[in-house]
Structure 1
Amino acid sequence: MKKKKLLIYAHYYTPDVASTGQILKELAEGMLDTFDITVICVVPSYSGKIEAKYKAKKFYHEKINGVKIVRIRVPEFSKQNKVSRIKNIIAYFFGSMRATLRVGHQDYVFSISQPPILGGLLGVWGKWMKRARFIYNIQDFNPEQVMAVGYSKNRVLLKLMMALDKFSCRQSSLVITVGRDLVTTLKERFKPGKAPKVAMINNWTDENAIYPLQQDDQNVISFKKKYDLQDKFIIMYSGNIGLYYDLENIIKMIRKFPETVRVRDGRILQFVFVGAGSVLTNLKDYVREHQMNNVTFIPYQPKQDLIYSLNAADIHWCVSAKGIKGVSCPSKFYGIAAAGKPVLAVLEDGSEIQMLVKENRVGYVSEPGDYETLIRHIQSIINFDTDLGSMGIRSRKLIESELTREKSIRKYADAILDLR
């Protein structure tokens, strides 16, 4: 039987390291047995820089592991410069509209909520142009996310953003969110009984690519040596160092732990941040100003090396700023759990990942802004008051039993096919 055609608006796609881009790569490749898939995305540019080979033409056509790719040329940008980011995003939006006209008939269009508001509108455009069913995958709710971190306080703009995103939701045949709390947010946007059809499917990591390693693994040892982390007890944050994670306050809390602090087995306590983002410079400046030698910053790791950096940690941060509950879901948890590591969670009560951590007893939980409880948790970790190893084992079992890549992707394919 001839496969139905599915068009995905991805914004970022492999080799970019954006978490949504990686998820959409695995989703697209995982559904190739069901759909003929085309992805519209930007040229590789998550860092803000663009290779010369992607600066000559407006569109680039590729095929990666069976997925057809249409890449759009966009201007370079700085993550610290709002104007340059807006120009970049607008170029993607209008370029995607043009690219839609180049991809032929489509039965379904699938768009994520990135960039904010525009991602949903692209899905509507694709629906109209291709007379296709539209699936809207909301990874983050906006303007709620913008409001939570105070990125904009322009009431007229926020009201317009809300109206446009509700319009995108209404135009969809199905909204797929990634957390129980996000389902609640969607329903609360509308009057009772007026919300669009919604499904909840957890995000994932590739549990076959990320899995527990022994600490004497040579690649883990090499990673630690490269960044002078031998004989250190490592509390690691890995991922986007951006606005939505309260990291600027957490770094101030870390200052309360002198660089001479040792855990019960004698290792020195070290806080490690792996990644990049809009507040990285602020964190580095603060650490430099206060001479915090117990903090290490490490660039994003190549995807094939992520298993080694994740396994190098003893415990991982999983954090969100206050107000993010029901708005966004920190998918970094799935990689942490796949590596068999415990979690130091700073998440609002009732948020999806907070519930997973509590329900499965895989880490410590405190609320954003409750730094006294967070400090007590770190003290408990230092003293080995809880068996971190058992927490890590339960983390991996959770992934293997309920949250495998195959199970989640199958849920996506089934939900889309059910729209026929």
Structure 2
Amino acid sequence: MLRKKKITFVINYFYPDLAATSQLMTELTGYLQKDFTITVIAAQPGYAGENHQSKKLFEEGYVETIKVVRIKLPEVNKNSKVSRLKYISSYFFLANIALLKEKGTDVIFTISQPPVLGGLIGTIGKLLKRSKHVYSIHDFNPEQAQAVAYTNNQSVFKIAKIIDKLNCSYADQVLVVGEDMAETLRGRFEDETVPNYTVISNWTDEDAIVPIEKSEPAIRGFLETHGLKDKFIVMYSGNLGLYYDLENLIQVADKFREQPDIVFLFIGEGAVKERIQRYAAEKNLENVKFLPYQPKEFLKYSLNSADVHLVVNQKGIKGVSVPSKIYGVMAAGKPVLGVLEQGSEVQRLIFESGAGVVIEPQNYEGVIHAIHYLHSLDPGELKSMGLKGRAYLEENLTRATSINKYRQVLQAVADNSPLEHTFQPKQYKEVVHKK
């Protein structure tokens, strides 16, 4: 019997962490464990406030057949750059040690978290362990940090971009989650050899997240508990982070204070949550509510409690990041109000599916008009709009489709064999590219 190839995933967030990346990577490794021997190196859970105490620097355990090495890291204050730097540098140093201790690795799989350094872990591991490296980019940095002016130090951006180009060049395969991100990758290597890359969409569990009527007892109870019964709910569900312009979008709610039936509901945690909570409190916005991340098993109910979902990105994020919340919203069959740049991956999905409307980032008057428009629609029209997204997802963006692409890519890299198929939905013209 042939030995299964060993894949070591160095992915920071993993079960039971509630971050979106954790949920995706937990599902991915769970489905791949029959095909490969898998080790995961990750931080101890705590991204969304999970409590996990351990005195060990490296704690080993198993999730089914998956070996998990958890790294003890300092607590992070997401509002403090110093705290973030301490957390990230500790993770980078300790993850490298854990990876070097792991024996028999055929392929190292890293993601673009922490920014730039996630890929560098794979580059170092490939050189020192003589392993293959698959680099999965969910966010391009330093481009993402530049878009929100995270720092004005241009030298930092220049050095970071050189390092991440090196990560891409040395990787045996680069994965990106949108065709607009593939354009960014090609742009990085203008007049140079573009690394091998494949476009693989993120996903949601479309069997667990399904359209559910608001009359469902669990949803009705949720609405009553939080004072949302008979409200038109505009929901943002996910990471309340730096890259979504939420500090400005929250001001849109002020324009609806005279329409008490319209409520803005923010579900999640993140670096800007305290800021937008403070704004809502200072302005006495009774039409704005905040809730923590909901348990994964309740997500199908919380997503379906909305009338419209906000899916947003800051200006300048096109081709840099793809908000993965779109897949859950489409699975739930809910209309989308996208605040997104033209030509971005999610703008394309909304346009092709007909699942909502899109406004350019920073066009706040446009957002206000879009909410008025969606609120004015007949309930049947609104429902039909959302269900178009569900139909599109079932045809083009299923979990099985994406996981099969990962399986094929990892097997090809591990076996040092060419990728013979594109493994992409029909709307993509160019997916697997070879040097």
Query: Fold conserved (TM > 0.5)?
Result: yes
CA distance in 1, matches of 2:148, 2:351: 25
Out of 340, 350, 353, the residue aligned to residue 343 of structure 2 is 350
Q: Which runs of structure 2 are paired with 1:163-178 in the superposition (5 Å)?
A: 163-178=162-177
1:304 aligns with 2:297: yes
Out of 389, 393, 398, the residue aligned to residue 392 of structure 2 is 398
Q: CA deviation at 1:51?
A: 2.7
1:417 aligns with 2:418: no
Q: CA deviation at 1:412?
A: 0.9
CA contact (8 A) 1:215 1:221 kept: yes
Structure 1 counterpart of 2:375: 382
CA distance in 2, matches of 1:155, 1:95: 28
Q: Which runs of structure 2 are paired with 1:73-222 in the superposition (5 Å)?
A: 73-222=72-221
Out of 266, 273, 285, the residue aligned to residue 278 of structure 2 is 285
Structure 2 counterpart of 1:45: 46
Q: CA deviation at 1:73?
A: 0.5
Q: CA deviation at 1:33?
A: 2.3
1:235 aligns with 2:234: yes
Deviations 1:285-341 (A, max 9, x none): 111111110001011111111111101101100000000001010000001111111
Letter in 2 for 1:375: I
Q: CA deviation at 1:193?
A: 4.8
TM-score (norm 2): 0.92
Letter in 2 for 1:237: Y
RMSD: 1.3
Structure 2 counterpart of 1:261: 259
Structure 1 counterpart of 2:427: none
CA contact (8 A) 2:204 2:328 kept: yes
CA 1:269–1:294 in structure 2 vs 1: closer, same or farther (change >3 Å)? Answer: same
Q: CA deviation at 1:157?
A: 0.8
Structure 2 counterpart of 1:338: 331
CA distance in 2, matches of 1:120, 1:209: 32
Q: CA deviation at 1:195?
A: 1.2
CA distance in 1, matches of 2:35, 2:124: 24
Deviations 1:261-295 (A, max 9, x none): 16xxxxx1111000011111111111111111000
Q: CA deviation at 1:127?
A: 1.2
Deviations 1:25-80 (A, max 9, x none): 1111111222111110001121367533x2x1111111113211000000111111
CA contact (8 A) 1:140 1:329 kept: yes
CA distance in 2, matches of 1:177, 1:110: 13
Structure 2 counterpart of 1:265: none
CA distance in 1, matches of 2:23, 2:5: 23
CA contact (8 A) 2:48 2:293 kept: no
Q: CA deviation at 1:91?
A: 1.1
CA distance in 2, matches of 1:95, 1:26: 24
Q: CA deviation at 1:229?
A: 0.9
Structure 1 counterpart of 2:432: none
Deviates more, 1:328-337 or 1:393-402: 393-402
Deviations 1:115-158 (A, max 9, x none): 00110001112212321111010000000000000001101111
TM-score (norm 1): 0.96
CA distance in 1, matches of 2:407, 2:305: 35
CA distance in 2, matches of 1:385, 1:285: 34
Task: Give ranges in structure 1 of 5+ residues lacking alignment.
Answer: 263-267
Structure 2 counterpart of 1:317: 310
CA contact (8 A) 2:19 2:48 kept: no
Deviations 1:232-277 (A, max 9, x none): 111100000111001111111221112x416xxxxx1111000011
Letter in 1 for 2:327: Y
Structure 1 counterpart of 2:28: 27
Letter in 1 for 2:189: F
Q: Which runs of structure 2 are paired with 1:266-277 in the superposition (5 Å)?
A: 268-277=261-270
CA distance in 2, matches of 1:202, 1:153: 32
CA distance in 1, matches of 2:348, 2:50: 38
CA contact (8 A) 2:17 2:50 kept: no
CA contact (8 A) 1:9 1:110 kept: yes
Secondary structure of 1:203's partner?
coil
- What is the percentage of aligned positions where both structures have the same residue? 45
Secondary structure of 1:134's partner?
strand
Secondary structure of 2:256's partner?
coil
CA distance in 2, matches of 1:355, 1:382: 23
Structure 1 counterpart of 2:420: none
Structure 2 counterpart of 1:365: 358
CA 1:85–1:193 in structure 2 vs 1: closer, same or farther (change >3 Å)? Answer: closer
Structure 2 counterpart of 1:328: 321
CA distance in 1, matches of 2:98, 2:326: 34
Letter in 2 for 1:404: T
CA contact (8 A) 1:236 1:317 kept: yes
Structure 1 counterpart of 2:16: 15
